[in-house]
Amino acid sequence: MSKVTVDSVSKFYGAVAALDHVSLTFEDGEFFGLLGPSGSGKTTLLRMIAGFVAPDTGSVSFDGERVDTVPVQKRGIGMVFQNYALFPHLSVADNIAFGLSVRSAPRAEIDRRVGEMLELVQLPGKGGRKPRELSGGQQQRVALARALITQPKVLLLDEPLGALDRRLRQEMQVELRQIQRRLAITTIFVTHDQEEALTLSDRIAIINDGKIAQVGAPQEIYEAPDSVFTAQFLGDANVLRGQPSGTRLTLADGSRIETNGPNAGIAIVRPEKIRIERGHRPPTGNGLQGVVAQAVYSGASVTYRLAVPATGDTPFLAFAQNQSGGVIAPGEPVTVSWETAQTIVVKP
């Protein structure tokens, strides 16, 4: 397979920088997620690696060899699009075989490889069907098989599961990860779904305004975000602002909390790290008092939005597993508390 390197690549559309001197390395066999809001530059980066977009500055290399001027069809990439882009008039087998057919591969080899791909994506016996006769998840598998049949060096996925419903998307995440591990193919995928990025990726790059905000393993970025943007984009986060003094932070109402290190006046705490109790009482460790403004019941859990003087007009979020079946009603006073280690110092 291949190690992919992008070195200080930029892409400008007029005065707008879609990518601004981005450098990343995608290791051989790695499943790498590109995550960011709409317009952040993640799809531009993927298309640049594929060869659909040329960089204005910088370079793209596969295994140390520059491919900036190499045409798409000669880069050794397989690509799956969000809308699958299957040929409706061709059978499933012919859709999968397309990449080998245009290369004039022997018929016997095509038939053998199509059979292998159908087995790989768990669609044996469905080669004679048309795409319209398949479910969304099955069409996704066909698109994946078509991308893999040419044995590419790199697999590129552009919002690959975005058109599927939640349950099917979760099932396909498991299958996609199993196939990627089995083939050990370098895989780069674009998504706007934070949960999907956390589930699938060996590493994630969060992109914002054409620049890399943070790179790391999913757990690393989630548990130790280095900025407010990263913390709020990858999950929910309560942002605490105040007057710093060493590791202590004095909030707007005079409440004092301890952070996990020296701070510059801003820290975050994740809602699921918080304990919530009825009534106002002295908290254990870091804690605040407030009132329930809203309780959102979702079966397995309850998300509370609290009115807390220390955060002003910004709701304070607390997440609780549904262990007792009880929900604290709006208007009730509560005390929230959490460990000092969970008060993460971040940049503005």
Q: What CATH number is associated with residue 99? A: 3.40.50.300
Helix, strand, or coil (residue 233): helix
- Is there a single domain that holds both residue 140 and residue 115? yes
- Is there a single domain that holds both residue 185 and residue 309? no
- Is there a single domain that holds both residue 326 and residue 187? no
C-beta separation of 320 from 301 below 8 A = yes
- Is there a single domain that holds both residue 278 and residue 144? no
Enter the pTM of the model: 0.91
Alpha-carbon distance of 181 to 194, in angstroms, equals: 21
Backbone torsion region of residue 24, taken as left when φ is above 0, otherwise alpha when ψ lies between -120 and 50, otherwise beta:
beta
Residue-level pLDDT at 1: 63
Kind of pairing, strands 238-241 and 248-250?
unpaired
- Is there a single domain that holds both residue 216 and residue 242? no
Query: Among residues 167, 200, 223, which one ends one of the domains?
Result: 223
93 in a structural domain: yes
Residue 201: domain span: 4-223
Alpha-carbon distance of 228 to 240, in angstroms, equals: 10
Query: Among residues 192, 223, 254, which one ends one of the domains?
Result: 223
228 in a structural domain: no
Nearest to 141 by CA among 165, 168, 106, 166: 168
- Is there a single domain that holds both residue 185 and residue 323? no
CATH code where residue 257 lies: 2.40.50.100
Alpha-carbon distance of 179 to 158, in angstroms, equals: 17
Helix, strand, or coil (residue 203): strand
- Is there a single domain that holds both residue 131 and residue 243? no
- Is there a single domain that holds both residue 150 and residue 281? no
Alpha-carbon distance of 260 to 342, in angstroms, equals: 7
230 in a structural domain: no
- H-run or E-run covering 268: strand 266-269
Report which DSSP code applies to 237: -
Residue-level pLDDT at 192: 85
- Is there a single domain that holds both residue 320 and residue 279? yes
232 in a structural domain: no
Alpha-carbon distance of 128 to 125, in angstroms, equals: 8
Per-residue pLDDT of the chain (348 residues; tens, 9 = 90+): 689 999 999 999 999 999 999 999 999 999 999 999 989 999 999 999 999 999 999 999 999 999 998 999 899 999 998 777 888 999 999 999 998 888 888 999 999 999 999 999 989 999 999 999 998 888 988 999 999 999 999 999 998 887 677 788 888 888 889 999 999 999 999 998 888 899 999 999 999 999 999 999 999 999 999 999 999 999 899 999 999 999 999 999 899 999 999 999 999 999 999 999 999 988 777 999 999 999 999 888 999 999 999 998 999 999 998 877 689 999 999 999 999 999 999 987
* Amino acid present at 286: N
Burial code of 253-282, b = ≥16 C-beta within 10 A, e = fewer?
eebebbbbeebeebbbbbbbbbebeeeeee
270 in a structural domain: yes
Structure tokens at 346: 């971040």
Alpha-carbon distance of 224 to 342, in angstroms, equals: 9
- Is there a single domain that holds both residue 269 and residue 329? yes
- Is there a single domain that holds both residue 195 and residue 72? yes
272 in a structural domain: yes
Please identify which residue in the block is written with the tokens 């008039």.
Answer: 89
Residue-level pLDDT at 135: 87
DSSP states of 128-183 = TS-GGGS-HHHHHHHHHHHHHTT--SEEEEESTTTTS-HHHHHHHHHHHHHHHHHH
247 in a structural domain: yes
- H-run or E-run covering 58: strand 57-62
Alpha-carbon distance of 53 to 115, in angstroms, equals: 33
Query: Among residues 166, 199, 223, which one ends one of the domains?
Result: 223
Q: CA-based angle 249:251:252, to the nearest 5?
A: 155
Q: How many domains does the chain have?
A: 2
170 in a structural domain: yes
Backbone torsion region of residue 60, taken as left when φ is above 0, otherwise alpha when ψ lies between -120 and 50, otherwise beta:
beta
Alpha-carbon distance of 264 to 339, in angstroms, equals: 19
- Is there a single domain that holds both residue 168 and residue 271? no
